Amino acid sequence: MRYPLTPLAVICCLIFSSCVQHGYFQSGLHGSNHNYKAMPLTADSMKSATYVSVHVMQGLANVRPHDAFGGGSLSIHRAHNFGSFQGFYAANATIGGYNVSDGYRQGENPNQYYKGGGRFFGGVGASAGINGVLPLGDAEWRYLGAEMSWQQEYGEYYKFRKSLPDAAVSYIDRHNHYITWGFNTEMLGRISKTLVGGYKAGYYTSINKLYRTDGANTLRPGWFSQTLHLGTPRHTFHVQMNAGTKMLGFNIGASFMVGR
């Protein structure tokens, strides 16, 4: 089964007409496991809330880039507002597909090939975060936030990475656990009596280093995330762009308050 290339992938293939080169194979969750989590405003009367969120992701990965991925996730999180700081904790599940292009490793072993094709991946885990908050009337600045996520990866794409010979790739992550952490800042506030909007930016990195298969070097992958969100206190919709180590992607999602 092959997953269709996105329009973004087609454009990149036209720009970068070369065939597949050195491979950088990372977790299928790379760049997509810190989705936006809605939380009550400091000015709101409610101080805690429970949300269910759904997200759809799509993007490009590897060198040039020549691979495509897509999928969706479901999460439930509990958010607390303590005035000068806020926090959340969440349970998450992700499913998706990673389309590997046929490729080879140039250089010392030009005959080492890996077979392309669509490969399923998934992950389950938990995440948590905390923010320092500066109230600004009907707005607030979540001036510094810290987040951490742990996901257990499974599926065909993990097995593919695990079985690849070293000579066929440049950098690879063979772990089936994906632990990331990072920092963020966010500005948001009321646009009208019921409408709330904002912007969030963050940088996240994995604790799993990518090891160069010839032993010469290691690389710690990371990505920069930007999110625009708009909604009511009970429903929030967002668009998120993620760009980082051999990855460019986006996701759209919605959070629905289901309890206090």
Q: Write the DSSP symbol of residue 24.
A: E
Q: Which residue range forms the structural domain that includes residue 132?
A: 7-27+61-259
Q: Is residue 45 part of a domain?
A: no
Q: What is the pLDDT of residue 46?
A: 87
Report pTM: 0.85
Q: Is residue 152 part of a domain?
A: yes
* 8-25 residue pLDDT tens: 444 444 333 344 446 789
Q: What is the pLDDT of residue 112?
A: 57
Q: What is the pLDDT of residue 127?
A: 98
Q: Is residue 50 part of a domain?
A: no
Contact 77, 37 (CB under 8 A): yes
Sign of the CA dihedral 71, 120, 163, 62? negative
CATH number of the domain encompassing residue 197: 2.40.128
Counted residue by residue, the chain has a size of 260
The whole-angstrom separation of Cα 63 and Cα 207 is: 21
Residue linked to tokens 């806020």: 86
How many structural domains comprise the chain? 1
Which residues contact residue 84 at a Cβ distance below 8 angstroms, ignoring those fewer than 6 apart?
Answer: 132, 133
Q: From residue 185, how far is each of 33, 146, 169, 233 by CA, in Å?
A: 17, 9, 36, 20
pLDDT per position in the chain (260 positions), as tens? 444 444 444 444 433 334 444 678 999 999 999 999 999 998 888 889 999 999 999 999 998 888 999 999 999 999 999 889 999 999 999 999 999 987 655 444 555 567 789 999 999 999 999 999 999 988 999 999 999 999 999 999 999 999 887 777 788 899 999 999 999 999 999 999 889 999 999 999 999 888 776 666 778 899 999 999 999 989 999 999 999 999 999 999 999 999 98
Contact 90, 253 (CB under 8 A): no
* 186-218 residue pLDDT tens: 999 999 988 999 999 999 999 988 877 666 677
Q: Is residue 185 part of a domain?
A: yes
Q: Is residue 74 part of a domain?
A: yes
Q: Is residue 1 part of a domain?
A: no
Q: Is residue 32 part of a domain?
A: no
Residue 78 tokens, joined: 């509990």
Can you give the C-alpha Rg of the chain in angstroms? 20
Q: Where are the alpha helices (DSSP H) in the chain?
A: 7-15, 156-163
Q: What is the pLDDT of residue 83?
A: 83
Q: Is residue 237 part of a domain?
A: yes
